[in-house]
Amino acid sequence: MNEVGGYDLEDLKVGMSAVFSKTVSEADILAFGGVSGDTQPVHFNQEYASTTMFKGRIAHGMLTASLISGVLGTKLPGPGSIYISQTLRFRAPVRIGETVHAKATVKEVLAEKKRVVIDTVCTVGDKVVLEGEAVMMPTVRK
């Protein structure tokens, strides 16, 4: 591990994984809408949301995606690493009160480029709600 608690490139191995979990609350939806400017009624208005394909309010997809940032920035590769890119495929909605588990698994270590490719997935129970792939620039030993 590096001086701030993250994994150095040299410590990362294919198959390593970490999880960050969070139960989505009403306060999370309000705060995320305020910060992002996304005040779409499917997130805030139950009457409107009940007329949509979701049949009720849902969390912002990017709020769910931000939990990936939580696992990457705090656990794997962790502090000191830099987020380079992320793909996202939204599979199912997340509702208030549901617990999202964001999991990161090392897929490939690109030592010559000083990068690591990480499979990312968010689940609620056994249901995949989001999946993708991240590229990170972890710290390297000096």
- CATH architecture of the domain with residue range 9-24+60-137: Roll (3.10)
CA–CA separation, 47 and 81 (whole Å):
42
Taking only the tens of pLDDT, the chain with its 142 residues reads: 777 778 999 999 999 999 999 999 999 999 999 999 999 999 999 999 999 999 999 999 999 999 999 999 999 999 999 999 999 999 999 999 999 999 999 999 999 999 999 999 999 999 999 999 999 999 998 7
Cis amide linkage into residue 93, ω under 30° from 0: no
| pLDDT attached to residue 142 | 73
Give the DSSP letter of residue 12.
Answer: -
74 half-sphere exposure, CB direction, 13 A CA radius: 11
Beta strands in the chain (DSSP E): 17-23, 82-90, 99-110, 115-124, 127-137
The whole-model pTM stands at 0.93
Give the mean pLDDT of the chain: 96
Q: Quick check: 95 and 58 in contact, CB under 8 A?
A: yes
